[in-house]
Structure 1
Amino acid sequence: MEVTMDKKEKKSLPEPRTYTVEQIAAMLNIGRTTAYQLVKQEEFRIVRIGNAIRVSKKSFDEWLESLEL
């Protein structure tokens, strides 16, 4: 992802290290309510920022890989 500063400079943003609950729902093809239930089960690490919930990419990806699909 790039952010254009002006015509001469481009600044790259770091790769995001978290997912939103909505992103998890989309990746797993499940509803938002079900995704929030997964978060409540503490299957992966989360960070709360005010009312926002962010899920650690690393812990989510490890959890997903551990499933026998």
Structure 2
Amino acid sequence: MKPVLCEKKTYTVQEIMKILDIGKNSAYQLVQEKQFKSFRIGSSIRISKESFDKWLNDKM
């Protein structure tokens, strides 16, 4: 039986920083401004990949 690969559905703030080539403060500011859907898991922030990708495509 082949292992099931799950497609990643969220980004971390660090991944957003790399994608946009921005600093930590700017990335957290985008999250606080609710530019895309995000949520917390404990103290960690996760950003909806679908929401972020749509936001990014709209900016281009």
User: What is the TM-score with the length of structure 1 in the denominator?
Assistant: 0.79
Higher RCO by CA contacts (8 Å cutoff, separation 6 or greater): 2
Which has more helix, going by share of residues?
2
Aligned to 1:53: 45
Q: Secondary structure at the match of 1:11?
A: coil
Q: Does residue 21 of structure 2 align to residue 29 of structure 1?
A: yes
* Percent of residue pairs bearing the same amino acid type: 48
* Corresponding position of 1:4: none
CA distance in structure 2 between the aligned counterparts of 1:33 and 1:43, rounded to whole angstroms: 14
Structure 1 unaligned blocks of 5 or more: 1-8
Task: List gaps (5 residues or longer) in structure 2.
Answer: none
What's the RMSD between the two structures over aligned residues?
1.2
Give every structure 1 segment of 4 or more consecutive aligned residues whose post-TM-superposition deviation is greater than 4 Å.
Answer: none
Aligned length: 60
Bigger share in strand: 1
Residue number in structure 1 paired with 2:5: 13
- After TM superposition, the score normalised by the length of structure 2 is 0.90
SS of residue matched to 1:39: helix
